[in-house]
Structure 1
Amino acid sequence: MKPSPASALVALLLAAPLAAQPPSAKAEVIPVTEAIPDDPEIQKVIAPLAEEIRASFGQPLVQAPQGVFRGRRGEENLLGYWVSDVMRQAAQPLVGTPVRFAITNAGGLRANLRPGQLKVGDIFELMPFENELIVIELTGAEVIQVVKEGLLRRGGEPCSGVKVKVEGTPQQATLVVTWEDGSPIDPAAVVKVATTDYLYGGGDSIPTLKKGRKPFTTGVTLRQMLLDQCAALGKAGKDLLPPAPGRYTVPVPILEAIRDKTFKL
């Protein structure tokens, strides 16, 4: 996989030799402002890649006539659904077996995809991090627990492959998690799960993901995966459309109790 111009720029900056500095007996704090002149040697390294980055960020990918949005005030995170769907789709050929479930974190999605022509820069704004796609094995019971932890953490982290329904009141609620076709999840069955190295490493308080067995790091960043998906749609003459809602059904009073940290399940 060819690195992006932005990744190549970071690598070159890290590899660039530092100018020799005279020894100093005392540390000095120097504010970084426009008054500090550019280093001509560093500029020689940056200039060609900076131009390439500006050109690549403006490269058109695909039309998104409706846009794809994270949702607010209890709305479902359709952007997160799309990302998790692409994660499952990308992971399956890499491991050679069905991937039943995928989960990402809403906090890692930093921008909506606005209606119109999507460009490379839009995907960088959405996913500015170098998080990688990883595949692990969990039991059905652990998948349900992962969904529960995401629900308690943020009202439900974006998932693919399941449907989640909460019924009742904040004081007495029940949680039902099924596969996307409505079939029950066998608690003892072992399934492949796509997630990110960030979540697998313990980020965003979904501890059951750390129990994942046989981790397979794909070496593919989520950003590159999304870029590839958009490019493929555009090349095929298809639009990027938001997934259908309905993966999470959670009453508003329970969502409010989750936000207020007063809900237990």
Structure 2
Amino acid sequence: MPVKPDPGRALLILSLLSLPLAAQPPSVKTEVIPITEAIPEDADIQKVIAPLAAEIKASFGLPLVEAPQGLFRGRRGEENLLGYWVSDVMRRAAQPLVGAPVPFAITNAGGLRANLRPGQLKVGDIFELMPFENEMVVIELTGAEVIQVVKEGLLRRGGEPCSGVKAKVEGPPEQAVLTVTWEDGRPIDPEATVKVATTDYLYGGGDSIPTLKKGRKPFTTGVTLRQMLLDECTALGKAKKELVSPAPGRYGIPVPIQEAIRDKKLKL
């Protein structure tokens, strides 16, 4: 059956064909402008920033607490006593927040960006130590996972700063044996579930401690590590106490093992 021509349809097609093509956006030439002192400051912005900058600068000079011996990260196999202190503070601060014992805490040495020199500590010193906005997170792990976390930190960086445990490595690097106990020497029950304080950075997979990502029932405290350290120093200062370095001995790692860790040859 022949199809009758449709004049209306033909007019519609002709109208569409006569429409101009969509205009293409003009090409934009980009330019990389380095941020240097040669760029003039905006006067209006400076009027807003100046009072805030002055307030922050003044607060950085506020005294907190005396630290006669200082606290240091350690180097070339020395224990990270500064990291021990930070993890101790995390563990103490976590317990009232979750309303339960927190027997283990771990942070990362790479997040500690400055030593605390002997003398009077000021607010600015804590900001230099902890310039990041990392928050504390409390998770649940089994005892076996706690031991694995310590092992991963050991292989990654020779032992990340921990609180609540002791670890030692014995034997030759090719057949080394790692022993992890609670700080009082009690064995860790691999089946028991415990609460662990760590950082959102580590819990999120930072610094190659993958077992922390397995943490269950995560509780984000909303408190930054920096604020916890500031609160700890402020409380010590008000109580007329000094900031004292934690005792060494949380990691027992012989020199051959340290060298094997450095050379990525340790077998655990």
Match of 2:22 in 1: none
Q: Which residue of 1 aligns with 2:259?
A: 256
- Three-state SS of the structure 1 residue aligned to 2:201 is helix
With normalisation by structure 1, the TM-score equals 0.90
Q: Supply the AA of the counterpart residue of 1:146.
A: V
Segment drifting more, 123-132 vs 39-48: 39-48
Q: Which residue of 2 aligns with 1:10?
A: none
2:87 maps to: 84
The code of the aligned residue for 2:261 comes to I
Corresponding residue for residue 10 of structure 2 = none
Identify unmatched segments of 5+ residues in structure 2: 1-25
Q: Counterpart amino acid of 1:101? A: F
3-state DSSP class of the match of 1:217?
Answer: strand
Find out whether 1:244 has 2:252 as its counterpart. Answer: no
SS at match of 1:123: helix
SS of the counterpart of 1:171? helix
- Is residue 2:72 matched to residue 1:69? yes
Contact 1:152 1:264 survives alignment (8 Å): no
Could you tell me which residue of structure 1 aligns to residue 188 of structure 2?
A: 185
**Unpaired segments ≥5 residues, structure 1:** 1-22
After superposing on structure 2, the runs of 4+ consecutive aligned residues of structure 1 that deviate more than 3 Å are none
Q: What's the secondary structure of 1:44's corresponding residue?
A: helix
Q: Which amino acid aligns with 2:233?
A: C
Q: Post-superposition shift, 1:24?
A: 8.8
Which of 128, 131, 138 is residue 131 of structure 2 equivalent to? 128
Residue 66 of structure 1 aligns to which amino acid in structure 2?
Q
Q: Tell me which residue corresponds to 2:140.
A: 137
Query: Could you tell me whether the CA contact under 8 Å between 1:132 and 1:222 is conserved in 2?
Result: yes
Alignment partner of 1:121: what SS? helix
| CA contact 1:162–1:179 (8 Å) conserved in 2 | yes
* 1:115 corresponds to: 118
Number of the residue aligned with 2:57: 54
1:128-162 per-residue CA deviation (whole Å, 9 max, x = no partner) reads: 00000000000000000000000000010000000
1:47 counterpart letter in structure 2: A
Task: Please say if residues 142 and 187 of structure 1, whose CA atoms lie closer than 8 Å, have aligned partners that are also in contact.
Answer: yes
Residue 176 of structure 2 aligns to a residue whose secondary structure is strand
- The answer on whether the counterparts of 2:176 and 2:266 sit within 8 Å (CA) in structure 1 is no
Q: CA deviation at 1:35?
A: 1.7
Partners of 1:250 and 1:212 lie apart in 2 by 27
Give 1:74's aligned amino acid.
Answer: G
1:205 maps to which of 195, 208, 222 = 208
Q: Which residue of 2 aligns with 1:98?
A: 101
Match of 2:172 in 1: 169
Which of 151, 155, 175 is the equivalent residue of 1:152?
Answer: 155
The residue aligned with 1:225 is 228
Change (3 A) 1:24 1:83: farther
Q: Which secondary structure state, in structure 2, belongs to the residue aligned with residue 214 of structure 1?
A: strand
Residues paired across the two proteins, number: 243
Q: For residues 49-79 of structure 1, give each alpha carbon's deviation from its aligned partner in whole angstroms, at most 9, with x where no partner exists.
A: 1000110000000000000000111110000
**Letter paired with 1:214:** K
Q: Distance in 1 between matches of 2:213 and 2:260?
A: 27
Report if aligned partners of 2:106, 2:162 keep a CA contact under 8 Å in 1: yes
Q: How far does residue 41 in structure 1 lie from its aligned partner after superposition?
A: 1.9
Preserved contact between residue 161 and residue 179 of structure 1 (Cα < 8 Å): yes
Q: Partner residue of 2:4?
A: none
Distance in 2, Cα, partners of 1:31 & 1:203: 30
Identity of aligned residues (%): 86
- What is the distance in 1 between the residues matched to 2:79 and 2:144? 24
String of CA shifts for 1:72-101, please: whole Å, max 9, x gaps. Answer: 111100000000000000000000000010
Distance 1:164 1:54, change over 3 A: same
Following TM superposition, by how much is the alpha carbon of 1:25 offset from its aligned partner in structure 2, in angstroms? 2.6
RMSD: 1.1
Match of 2:17 in 1: none
CA separation in 2, counterparts of 1:136 and 1:217?
9
| Larger Rg belongs to | 2
